[in-house]
A and B are shown apart, each in its own frame.
Chain A
């Protein structure tokens, strides 16, 4: 799924993504893939469209290992992070908001090219699924 680009629109020079050297555990071996905490899928770190893959492409679950900077591995929580909501950057890129189930911390991560499209759209439609609140909001406009 190609990244959407505005035809003829002004393209701002963007900071290239930092290369991420993932060290798994205290032993410090280079990680090449990880096992999803939600669905136990073996996931490769090479993701199309992003160098910071931090969630399972199948169930969008993640793990709380980073604190402020992606890849710093400074959080000691190691809780499971569930996809909470979908946000959109001004350039139209979807960003998943994760919430840690054990400490409630929030984090944001861009979607990858091989993420499950059905799970992404289900997440994006979550606010509209409960029709009573959506109706009330629409009527109050």
Chain B
């Protein structure tokens, strides 16, 4: 009597199935896998994400707030990471930059501190 059905195990994983999500901010339909095969979690056009994972406790989060990109971090390898912040609960996450992300927003975030320095940058000419 070994007629147990294991449909999830018997069916091969369909790698050609295109998995998509819709950006909650700009409405763009984005494929979940980037061109280089990595999973993406933010929209490549507006770089916004949604707060679905709890990064302090671990596991899923029911906040579902919008996560806006706030800064660019650099790993030791030289790769850029986007720091996201949830507008509802102020949670911070860091995600790797995909190749097809909006370069204008990335560059704008990278030079943003220099546009509004808290002290005159001319003072560094004396050093």
Where the two chains meet, the residues of A that have a C-beta atom closer than 8 Å to any C-beta of B are: 1, 3-4, 67-68, 84-88, 92-95, 97, 99, 105-108, 111, 117-118, 120-121, 124-130, 132-134, 137-138, 140-141
Contact = CB atoms under 8 A, between A and B. Distances in A.
Interface stretch (B7-15, B22-30, B43-51, B117-125): B117-125
B88 interface: no
B103 A85 contact: no
A140 B123 contact: no
B78 interface: yes
A84 B117 CA distance: 18
Main secondary structure of the interface of B (DSSP, over half): mixed
- Give the residue among A95, A99, A138, A140 with the most B Cβ atoms within 10 A: A140
Interface of B: 55-56, 70-74, 78-80, 83, 85, 92-94, 103-104, 106-107, 110-119, 121, 123-124, 127
A76 to B, nearest CB: 12
14 contacts: A88-B116, A92-B118, A95-B70, A95-B71, A97-B92, A99-B73, A106-B55, A121-B117, A124-B114, A127-B110, A129-B74, A134-B107, A141-B104, A141-B107
B78 to A, nearest CB: 5
Contact of B106 (A4, A93, A120, A137): A137
A88 B110 CA distance: 10
Contacts of B104: 141
A26 B94 CA distance: 32
Given A117-B123, A138-B107, A140-B103, A85 B72 contact: yes
A85 B109 CA distance: 11
B78 A121 contact: no
A92 to B, nearest CB: 4
B80 A127 contact: yes
A4 B118 contact: yes
Given A86-B113, A105-B56, A141-B107, A130 B92 contact: no
Contacts of B94: 84, 99, 106
A124 B113 contact: yes
B106 A105 contact: no
Contacts of B112: 88
A127 B81 CA distance: 10
B92 A85 contact: no
Contacts of A105: 55-56
Contacts of A140: 103
B81 to A, nearest CB: 8
